Amino acid sequence: MKDNVTIKGGTHTDRIHDSAIKHVTGRADYTDDIPEPAGTLHAYLGCSSVTHARITAMDLSAVRAAPGVIGVLTADDIPGTNDISPTGRNDEPVFPTETVEFHGQPLFAVVAETRDAARRAADLAQVRYETLPHALDPVAAQKAGYPNVTDPLKLERGDLATGFENAVHRIKGQITVGGQDHMYLEGHIAFAIPGEDDDVVVHCSTQHPSEAQHMVAHVLGVPSNAVTVNVRRMGGGFGGKESQMNLFCAVAAIAAKKWNRAVKIRPDRDQDMTATGKRHDFVIDYDVAFDDAGRIQAVDGSFVARCGFSSDLSGPVTDRALFHADNAYYYPAVRLVSHPMKTNTVSNTAFRGFGGPQGVVAAERMIEEIAFALGKDPLEIRKANFYGQDGRNLTPYHQEVDDNILDRLIGDLETSADYRARREAVLAFNATSPVIKKGIALTPVKFGISFTATWYNQAGALIHVYNDGSIHLNHGGTEMGQGLNTKVAQVVAEAFQVDFDRIKITKTTTEKVPNTSATAASSGTDLNGMAALDGCEQIKARLVEFAAAKWDVAPDQVKFLPNTVQIGETRLSFDDFIKQAYMARVQLSAAGFYKTPKIHWDRSSGKGRPFYYYAYGASCSEVSVDTLTGEYRVERTDILHDVGKSLNPVLDKGQVEGAFIQGMGWLTTEELWWDEAGRLRTHAPSTYKIPLASDRPRIFNVDLADWSENRELTIKRSKAVGEPPFMLGISVLEALSMAVSSVDGYRTCPRLDTPATPERVLMAVERLQSAL
Amino acid sequence: MTHRDEIRFLLNGRDIVLPDVGASQTLLDFLRLDRRLTGTKEGCAEGDCGACTVLVGRLHNNRLRYETVNACIRFLATVDGCHVVTVEHLSGPDGRLHPVQQAMVEHHGSQCGFCTPGFVMSLYALWMQTPEPSEAQVETALQGNLCRCTGYEPIVRAAVAVSRYGTPASDHLIAERDAVTTRLTALRDGRRIVTGPAQDRAILPASVDDLATVLTENPEATIVAGSTDVGLWVTKFLRPISPAVFIGHLDGLKNIEITDAGLTIGAGVTYSECQDAITGMFPHLAAYWDRIAGWQVRNMGTVGGNIANGSPIGDTPPVLIALGAQIALRRGNDRRSLPLQDFFIDYGKQDRAPGEFVETIHIPQATAGQLDAAYKISKRRDEDISSVAAGISVSVEGGTIRDCRIVYGGMAATPKRADAAEAALRNQPWGEAVFRAAAQALSDDFSPLTDMRASADYRMLSARNLLLRFYLEHDAATDTPVQLATA
């Protein structure tokens, strides 16, 4: 055995996704693929056909009488509490009893022998309504005097009045930032199997098994220990399965207990998209003061969000919009206020970035406004406003930015993307091309990592080493494609110095690790990787103690080497060593735990350190626009992104590529469109257009900043990767803006709202041209 | 000859015989619920995401051809006589990964994995046809597959690299081609199939003549060719379609005839099947044709169906009307033919009598001096329904516009000619001013709607600008690009 042999699949190595082979062969089981016990029933939701109304009568007799129907569930059938609000505000009933608050709101569920029978029966309900006036968008809601769904947040720092008084230049503007549907390929699904006493097991596709467990217990009126929630994997989540699965879990569990049969519920895509929440859209008013050099002096921002009928996660989402309304820029004086508006739409929810991207778009719009006003390259304005040292490093929430690497990162990208020469080439092209216009933009991202709900920043793991040396890994995080399980298994492999394949990755279950946090806020690896490591270290400490005693060496003479253990002069294979430890009655199992240090946040004063650290990135995109139709294509994108010291560079790169495309889709073709009656008309991939392979940039260069290392003691000095690169897509929006502005000689900020569909692009071209 | 009341096909190499197949039963539900072949996923049940992609091998002119289809909107009865191949059939008996699968694994082409089997099947079909595809070919093959995780980059890299992991010659579907052809040929007994319960009856006529008879007997039947529209009536709207008369299998509707007079295609010819013929004769349709839906839908959907369903936003009617297409209809043994433009009467109303069916479509050869263009504007470039589509055909003689046909989709309740704009061009000298005048005249021709695809203002403005684009594109003096470069 050679000493220089390394384990297969340790940390900081490229490792394929643990399920990759199962994915490509179709053998990876999703919830709908689990074999159904005999007698399994199927539930389907019956939903409202109006937007805002009092329910005067609900006649479900035809539903009950339909072929194959076993029964229906209404609010009256809920044994416990009729509420699934994830923040405990008691504003989100499973089924409403008096008032319909949005078009497509679930009113009841029908349970039948087959899914097809349930679907057909659900259409037969006779519901009578007394319609009420509705407000769909947040500005209309404000005008109609609708309430906030949750308390607004205000962030303030510096002397705003003086900032504006001393302003050399001042611009006020508004941007509408559109929402986004998650469009995970696997829709919502829950599958409940009743057990004895109060017990029920729910297999489902949630990012937050503990919350689903608690919600099911809540609606059943039983303690949490009666409910088990299992998740092996999701077919995508992106935030859409953080709180939104609660409804489906609740319905499946209630029905399973009521009829004592297994019950599955899976909405079709249209119902999935109409009955579950999306990214919040915002109307943002900004007022920015700046000097001749483009340095921002003061910012006053108002962030009005469409939250939908209930609070769901709108509080922390709108908070995070404010936390990121600075993006990478220092505001000497600032006031940022959120307005989380109630509207008669589905309750909006988490989505990758969690409000942050909307804030960042606002920051970049202000930069753009300044650049157009001064006739400068927006990149110059960006650089002039980056967080720096000496009094220019305090955020609007009073956290110091002390790990900024943007100067180097932007510098590197500017060179590798050849930004300056290409910008000159774009300007030259536009001067001679009357129809096709180009644009180029280089935009930065700074994103704060940690749940702003401080108590969420904890995690647990359960590690067993069996007496044959095989290892069982369980933790509270969920796998939705991001490779979390792979990375955590790499951490365990590294800790024990065993090959990756020795570790069995198991489904997430509330039975093994309790009280877990959502796999969200990009925190999955940071939290669960550390918790798993803690479990490994506990077992290793016992093993070292055992070995030191048995072989009579000092503890530092016990070393875990690749697949072997060196104890003084003795060398054993890992398996033999474990066998001996077992025979000596060493406990080979441990529950690991982790909580993020250093963070604190006082919402009432708007001060604290909500984020453990920041992740950074930048992208440079070039686009071509057809000024006759508004159609466009992305010619080239270059990305340099910071993931600290990557645990698995190839998986991290995959996250960056995927997030960029998803962010680009959000800002370009993904449009949520409600008709006047309040019906969402873009409710399936036929009408809601996420990017295709052919929408990728023609040239797409993605690199990780391999020189970066987290200054904080995160898992192996890595950084979170799920959300930050989503905002790299903003470079496409900014490039489109430049292309549009070329039609009037770059004199006017085109103020593109998002998504910048071909229609919005053409209408902006038309607006600029007709003002000439 | 008596009717057959069961359907017979091969599934992953095994013989399947199914009695009592209802018209609205989908292939996807059969695979997942009846056979528990759960590798094939449901993502949207409307043929737009590709998670349910499987291959269907069928005989055409005695040649076995495997094509990707969306199992979610493919009716089970229509796989009679076919070989259905799912992702479970890809790796060999020894469990070794197929080259396509190996390439996807090694290029990290899956993240959540839910779309992955569908991608694998599309890439498999591509690799069988084109073992070493270009990126552009990969993108075209993947127009019907959505991935929300990867951003596609690793999938495209995998697709381009598949040939490094194996050649089609070693593939078992290709190795077994002759044997499967023999088995499928043996399944053909030339009989009409009538199957399914009375309230969900499926009829597969034995021939085109038999189709005429069936429709005379069942004049209110739902005629289903590729099911890319009717499939959604079932999966989305739960509409009954019984009795459904399936015509996609009829060789007699699959003819493609090229003569000096022009191109004639049978009503059962899919977009894919006529792509070479139609874009060969009308090169201006090449880019446009690739933008009709995604690959799976082009393999299923037919030009005849696109016409017969009368949608105001169908892709082919505007460009075919612009080319002066005629269609032939048949009821029993009575046949008539009419200009395609006259077929569309009003929204949802076509000139087709009960029991009558579209038999062929004829597109006349272009005349000398005829300038043609086909434009489509959609929110997303590929696999999207148009907000505005235009077919423009202008005949110029000695610098004067002699005749023209300007046809728009998405601007009215039917695909419709722009009479006022045409009048503004006819007998006018070629030049920007007359095209601008024609563009202005469009407001006399159309009052478009606002909906989720586009506003009325955008529709009108872009429709006008397409006339300007046509002018610039065909004007000798323009030397800068007027359209975005395609791949």
Q: Tell me what pLDDT residue B273 has.
A: 97
Q: Which member of B45, B86, B114 has the closest CB to residue A269?
A: B45
Cβ–Cβ below 8 Å for B156 and A120: no
DSSP B371-416: EEEEEEE-SSSSS---SEEEEEEEEEETTEEEEEEEEEESSSSS-E
Cβ–Cβ below 8 Å for A185 and B48: no
Cβ–Cβ below 8 Å for A691 and B380: yes
> B346-393, pLDDT tens digit by residue?
999 999 999 999 999 999 999 999 999 999 999 999 999 999 999 999
Backbone CA torsion sign across A483, A487, A492, A493: positive
Whether domain A415-449+609-772 has CATH 3.30.365.10:
yes
Cβ–Cβ below 8 Å for A626 and B484: yes
Given a cut of 80, whether residue B93 has pLDDT beyond it is no
Given a cut of 90, whether residue B485 has pLDDT beyond it is no
Tell me whether the CATH fold assigned to A135-180+278-386 matches the one assigned to A415-449+609-772: yes
**Mean of the per-residue pLDDT values of chain B:** 97
Going along A30-134, which residue ranges are E strands?
A: 41-47, 53-59, 69-73, 99-100, 106-112, 126-131
Distance CA A90, CA A83 (A): 6
A723 carries an active-site annotation: yes
Considering only CB atoms, which chain A residues are within 8 Å of B480? 432-436
Q: Which residue is associated with the tokens 């024990």?
A: A496
Considering only CB atoms, which chain A residues are within 8 Å of B115? 185, 235
So where are chain A's domains? Answer: 20-27+458-595, 34-133+182-275, 135-180+278-386, 415-449+609-772
Q: Which member of A185, A651, A692 has the closest CB to residue B380?
A: A692
Q: Tell me what pLDDT residue B336 has.
A: 98
Considering only CB atoms, which chain B residues are within 8 Å of A185? 41, 43, 49, 51, 112, 114-115, 146-148
Cβ–Cβ below 8 Å for B114 and A483: no
Q: Which member of B105, B152, B484 has the closest CB to residue A696?
A: B152
Q: Tell me what pLDDT residue B271 has.
A: 98
The two tokens of residue A507 are 């489904």
**H or E stretch covering A458:** strand A458-465
Q: Tell me what pLDDT residue B61 has.
A: 83
Q: Tell me what pLDDT residue A1 has.
A: 44
Cβ–Cβ below 8 Å for A684 and B453: no
Considering only CB atoms, which chain B residues are within 8 Å of A21? 97, 101, 105
Distance CA A438, CA A423 (A): 9
Contact A446, A401 (CB under 8 A): yes
Q: Tell me what pLDDT residue B486 has.
A: 73
Distance CA A173, CA A362 (A): 10
> Which position among A186, A368, A723, A734 bears the catalytic label?
A723
Q: Which member of A187, A694, A766 has the closest CB to residue B382?
A: A694
Best of A430, A635, A674, A692 to mutate (most B CBs within 10 Å, chain B): A692
β-pair partners for B403: B395
Q: Tell me what pLDDT residue A489 has.
A: 98
Considering only CB atoms, which chain A residues are within 8 Å of B105? 16, 20-21, 24
Given a cut of 80, whether residue B487 has pLDDT beyond it is no
Q: Which member of B88, B236, B458 has the closest CB to residue A26?
A: B88
Kindly report the nearest CA distance between residue A684 and chain B, in angstroms.
7
Cβ–Cβ below 8 Å for B149 and A624: no
ipTM over 0.85: yes
Residue ranges, chain A, pLDDT below 50: 1-2
Distance CA A568, CA A553 (A): 6
Distance CA A3, CA A571 (A): 11
Kindly report the nearest CA distance between residue A141 and chain B, in angstroms.
22
Report all structural domains of chain B as residue ranges with CATH numbers, in order of start: 6-88+177-246 (3.10.20.30), 99-170 (1.10.150.120), 251-364 (3.30.465.10), 370-474 (3.30.390.50)
Considering only CB atoms, which chain B residues are within 8 Å of A28? 113
The CATH number of the structural domain formed by A20-27+458-595 is 3.30.365.10
Best of B87, B139, B149, B468 to mutate (most A CBs within 10 Å, chain A): B149
The CATH architecture of the domain made up of A34-133+182-275 is 2-Layer Sandwich (3.30)
Cβ–Cβ below 8 Å for A695 and B469: no
Show Cβ contacts of residue A165 under 8 Å, excluding neighbours closer than 6 positions: none
Best of B97, B104, B153 to mutate (most A CBs within 10 Å, chain A): B153
Cα–Cα distances in Å, from B325 out to B313, B364, B391, B417? 17, 7, 12, 13
> A140-179, pLDDT tens digit by residue?
999 999 999 999 999 999 999 999 999 999 999 999 999 9
The two tokens of residue B8 are 């017979």
State the CATH class of domain A135-180+278-386: alpha beta
β-pair partners for A204: A190
Q: B481 at the A interface (CB within 8 A)?
A: yes
Q: Are strands B53-60 and B63-70 parallel, antiparallel or unpaired?
A: antiparallel
Contact B295, B144 (CB under 8 A): yes
Cis peptide before A444 (omega within 30 of 0): no
